[in-house]
Every structure is written in structure tokens, then in C-alpha cells.
Structure 1
């Protein structure tokens, strides 16, 4: 293959990954607390030598898929009326204990187990600032959470929902549709605003993602067509040479 084909193939490879990310965004447009992702591309510049092997030739740009990053912009808050639904207004994350370790999440769709432990949709206990599960006494049938995270029952305040964060949100690694793995040290937010009876919707804009998907597909088709055209041109050239008696 010549350089033109290699350049087109590098673009096709990057577009394929970009399409996977965009498709995943659309699939989670209705997932509570989901954060959209985007691909980060760059051009890898190669400077070619001239015909005599000296500097000063043309440059070629190969597409490189550098990274996938998340958009941590807050999604719209919606009212549910469920006393164990919680939305974060502003920055921060709930901490939950999974079998793989502590994970962060913006999905506050919690439940109360029969033993009083507050868990997420997959049964992972929600943690306080000391990484202890938040437990509501079984005999308490009233649950109220203030905007500062203070948890109260009919017997008064019994604990606090604490929000965690990290210094660089780009270091968080997505796991599934709603969990984030911290790869650096977490810290407790001194100020927080929690809304009881509400959930944060996905921050995916379905129209934007659909438009993006169409653009990716068009770019993919153009580059794939270029590869096919180059392949046909080379095949025709080889066939002509092998069939031309004067070439021997």
C-alpha cells in the first residue's frame, strides 16, 4: 500500500472508535447521571525526504486517536418525588462501595435495604466521608435529607450524605454507564447541594450526537472510497504492466 492508503486507513481507524463512542452516548441518553464522552484526535506529522534523500520534502499527516475524555457538565435535574432519589446540584459525586473498590457516581437513584443500608441501583452501599455505609435505623420510617446532606428521621439528625471529588476530573475512568473509578486521591467537598426527590438526567444531547454520527459516517465513507479507488488504481497499473510486452 502507498502512503495515501495508509493515511486514509489511519483516519478510518480513528473514525471507527469515534463512532463507537458516539453510539454509546446515544444509547445512554436516558441513563441517570450519565456523562457523554468524546474522542481526542491529533495529526501525526511525517516529513518526507526529497528525491535525492535530502530534507525538504513534503509532509504527511496521519490521524492519531489520542484519548477519550468525558464531558462532566451537569445534566438537567428532574423531579421524581421518591424519597430515596437524590440529585447533586453543582460539583461532586456520591461514593459507593463495589466489589472492585470505592467508585464515584452522579446517579443518585438509591434504595433502602431491609437492614436500613442505602444502596445504589446495583446494590452497592453508599458511603459517608469515612467510607462507611450509610444506614438508616430499621425502625425509622421518616427520611429527610437537607440540601447540605444532613440525614434526618423522626428522631432527628442521624448522619450525612457526603460528596467526594478529585482535583482533576479527567483522571476518572468510566466503568459501565454510571460508575467512575478514581485513579488519584479523593477528597470531601466542603460545600454541597443535594436535592431529595430528584435525579440528574444524562447530559447527552441526542440531536447533537445524531448529527455527529451522520458526520462521522460521511467522513468514513469518503475515506473508505479513497482506499477502494487507490486499490483499483494500483491493480489496474499492475495489470497493465504485466500485460504490456514493452515493459519486459
Structure 2
């Protein structure tokens, strides 16, 4: 019975982690460039189960493997779903969506981060920046500058009124983008598993468009209901087991 308490308790802890993750995804369903978080679990304290059948005639025992008993599961890692979100037209000349894979490079001082959120603005100094003030970088690693009459072309170049190229917005790709480390809601940084950033030479941009969150609210709600029900079942298991343990402890002395 104590084993049942342990398994049910571990199940409740996992369901709590699932519910918190699903709630965070749902809270960011309207966050531009947000990428869905997915929890990955692994089994813990596995035990092999065998069946022993004696054979009196042979004076030995047949041992047959039945399978595994998984005492519990634990959270292994949080994986980011890098599938593209819905593309929505805004009409703003500074809103950019990447047509395909890749990330914008943005800088805050000496730190460089990567994002799919192309909701940009032109600040008072003529720099292309995010809503948080991060500067968008060009292929030389310099902040992108725009005059009032400049425009951004689909090939990522910043052009003057007569079409002259002033700079090119940098788009970077990774060998394993799902292994990027998420910072906040839409920013990422490279890791050893993601590989280093590589400049995408043939990047295409959709000017006047934004990539919305890739969260499917209906799917997340279904997953939340499932996790909530599983949590409630584990609660009932703990309550029932506690009652049985109480009866065993308090009534065992009365048995004749």
C-alpha cells in the first residue's frame, strides 16, 4: 500500500507540472513568435518482473520474464516545438515574418539572442528594434539603421528610396533548433546541442506580416482536462490508500 501512495504522489507531481506548462502555453496563445513548450518524461525506479514455475520432474525452475514495473516517472526535459505559427498580415512596414526556417538576431549590449518574433519598430535614433528595445542585427553584426524613407525588401535588404542597398537583416539557422535554450517567452540562445548559429544566405522575409504563436488552444485545453482528471484520480488513490492504512494500523490489534 505504501508503494501505491508513492506512485500516486509522483503521478500528482507530474500532473501538476503538466498543468503549469499547459497554463503557460495558453497564456501565450496571442504572444507573437511564441513557441509551444512540451514536457518529456522518463521512467524512474524500474524493476524487472519474472515468473517462476517449478518442475518437480526435472528438479528445477523455469524463469520467464514478464516485463517491467515502472515505479514512477520524472520530468526529463522541456522541449520547444519549433513548428511555424500562423502568419498574419498587419500592414506595418517594420513587421517581418521569416518565410521558412531561421531566426532574427537581436542584441542587448554585448549579448546576442535569437527570435522568431518580428514585431519591430524604428526608434528615435533610426534603429530597428524590438518592443523591449533589443537592436536587430545585420549580416555584419551591426544594428540595422533605417532612414524615414528607407524600406525593407523581401530578401532582407534595407534599401533607400532609389533602391540602393544600405544593409541586410541577418537570419540565422541552427542544426537542431529544438535544443535552443528559451529565455523568457520568445527569445532563445544557442547551446552545445543546438549547434552554433549559421548565417542563412537565401533567407526570405514577408514584410508587413507577423508569425503568431504556434499554440493550438483547443488541443491544449483537451490536454489540460486530461491532466486534471488524472490528478483527481491520483488524489482518490491516495485518500483510499490512507484509509486502508489507517484501518490496518488501528484494527490489527483487535483481530482474534
SS at match of 1:81: coil
Q: TM-score, normalised by structure 2?
A: 0.86
Is 1:186 the counterpart of 2:197? The answer is yes
Aligned counterparts of 1:164 and 1:57: Cα–Cα separation in 2? 50
Q: Report how far residue 57 of structure 1 moved.
A: 9.2
The runs of 5 or more residues in structure 2 that have no matched partner are 52-62
Partner of 1:116: 126
CA deviation string 1:47-89 (max 9, x = no partner): 3799xxxx97984311121111111110111111111111111
Aligned counterparts of 2:107 and 2:99: Cα–Cα separation in 1? 22
User: How big is the alpha-carbon RMSD for the aligned residues of Structure 1 and Structure 2?
Assistant: 2.1
Q: State how 1:133-212 maps to structure 2 within 5 Å.
A: 133-136=143-146, 140-155=147-162, 156-183=164-191, 184-212=195-223
Partner of 1:60: 69
Aligned counterparts of 1:193 and 1:185: Cα–Cα separation in 2? 21
**Following TM superposition, where does structure 1 have runs of at least 4 consecutive aligned residues deviating by more than 4 angstroms?**
55-59
Aligned counterparts of 1:100 and 1:158: Cα–Cα separation in 2? 23
The runs of 5 or more residues in structure 1 that have no matched partner are none
CA deviation string 1:80-122 (max 9, x = no partner): 1111111111100001112572110000111111111111110
Partner of 2:58: none
Equivalent of 1:220, from 231, 236, 242?
231
SS at match of 1:195: strand
Q: TM-score, normalised by structure 1?
A: 0.89
